[in-house]
Chains A and B, each alone.
Chain A
Amino acid sequence: MTDLISVDMALLILAAAVATFLTRIGGYVLITRMTTIPPRMEQALNAVPAAVLTTLVAPAFFNGGWDVKIAMLAALVVGIRYPGLLPLGAGWAAAMLCRHLLGF
């Protein structure tokens, strides 16, 4: 490990950065070219946040062990009543409990 930057690595990182920026501005470029938004597209766009975030949650739940499943269920129960960091703390505490005291 050196503390310098190799040219190849820097180019690869910058290419990844450009690819990422294209995704970040792409939706804006597409949508501003349309004069009106059809109601079905409006409805579809409104569903985007829940749809995307679910894909980061569901496979983690189904592929995870019992420790992960219990942690996520704990966060779900707490998250229905309290927003913010509390569900995160509940999930983390449940995972620590499973791993260090229950031995999952």
Chain B
Amino acid sequence: MNRSEFNQGLKGGLIIALSSAPFAVLFGAVASDNGLSVMEAGLMSATVYAGASQLVGIELFGHHVAPWLIVLSVFAVNFRHILYSAALTRYIAHFTPVQKFLTFFLLTDPQFAEAVQRGESGRGVSFPWYIGFGAAIYFPWLFFSVVGAFFGRMMGDPRALAIDVLLPVYFLGLVIGFRRKPGFYPVVVGSALGSVLGYHFVGSPWHVSIGAAVGVAVAAFLPLPTESVPANAVTEMES
């Protein structure tokens, strides 16, 4: 293991862990509010490990929705990960099968954003960095979920503490970080329109997949760079 890469990953991951701790506590609190035990909330954070979809699942548990529909909704909210793993593949071709398994298990929004940023900047995605970054998010996520489930009923109103704005604001910051990529503005406009219209006419959680599909389709139909360069060179030129 490369120590400095691992430590660098840990450090980066801890920042994410801190900013996602309120959501883990929120998830635990909502879970116990919807009838899950502390162990069940912990099991969900340990095995599903995907914040937004865990909250969607919990919401549906509370409404006694059919189990297959809950699983389908979790799949829909997480559908974006198919696109993530496709885009990440080129940077982790050198990983062993076990390393790949762990890599995909730990693949979250911030993990993907950071890994792709490293890959595109030419620093490369090493397994020690990736696992350090992932572990620094995974274990606090599990810990704070359990804490939230224990103390769920004691926590104040999440609105009064403005906990509810943290998630969209955090994702907004990530979007801003991509603004220098080619085609950024048409993609964002397409994706925003698709998700807002999808939200109104189809409903949550489908707006995530619909909006993403529109944004990706816009990118696919944008004119290609005029010179015919190999696909990999295009990626390197962007950063």
**Most chain B CB within a 10 A radius of its CB, from A23, A30, A37:** A23
Interface residues on chain B, number (Cβ under 8 Å): 99
Interface residues on chain A, number (Cβ under 8 Å): 75
Query: Which residues on the A side are within 8 Å of B210 (C-beta)?
Result: 55
Q: Is the CB of B166 within 8 A of A88?
A: yes
- Assess A43 versus B169: contact at CB under 8 Å? Given A30-B82, A30-B86: no
Count the A-B residue pairs with Cβ separation under 8 angstroms: how many? 291
Query: Which residues on the A side are within 8 Å of B238 (C-beta)?
Result: 46
Q: Is the CB of A49 within 8 A of B116?
A: yes
Query: Which residues on the B side are within 8 Å of A91 (C-beta)?
Result: 165-166, 169, 172
- The B interface is mostly helix, strand or loop, or mixed, namely helix
Could you tell me which residues of chain A, from 52 to 66, have a CB within 8 Å of some CB in chain B? Answer: 52-64
Would you mind naming 11 contact pairs between A and B with Cβ atoms under 8 Å apart? A17-B47, A20-B53, A26-B81, A39-B224, A44-B216, A44-B220, A45-B86, A52-B84, A56-B167, A68-B165, A87-B172
Please report B residues at the A interface, Cβ cutoff 8 Å. Answer: 15, 19, 32, 35-40, 43-44, 47-50, 52-53, 57, 61, 67, 70-72, 74-75, 78-89, 100-101, 104-105, 107, 109, 112-113, 116, 159-160, 162, 165-179, 181-184, 187-188, 190-196, 198-199, 204, 207-208, 210-212, 214-222, 224, 231, 234-235, 238
Please report A residues at the B interface, Cβ cutoff 8 Å. Answer: 1-6, 9-10, 12-17, 19-28, 30-32, 36-64, 67-68, 71-72, 75-76, 79-80, 83-85, 87-88, 91-92, 95-96, 99-100
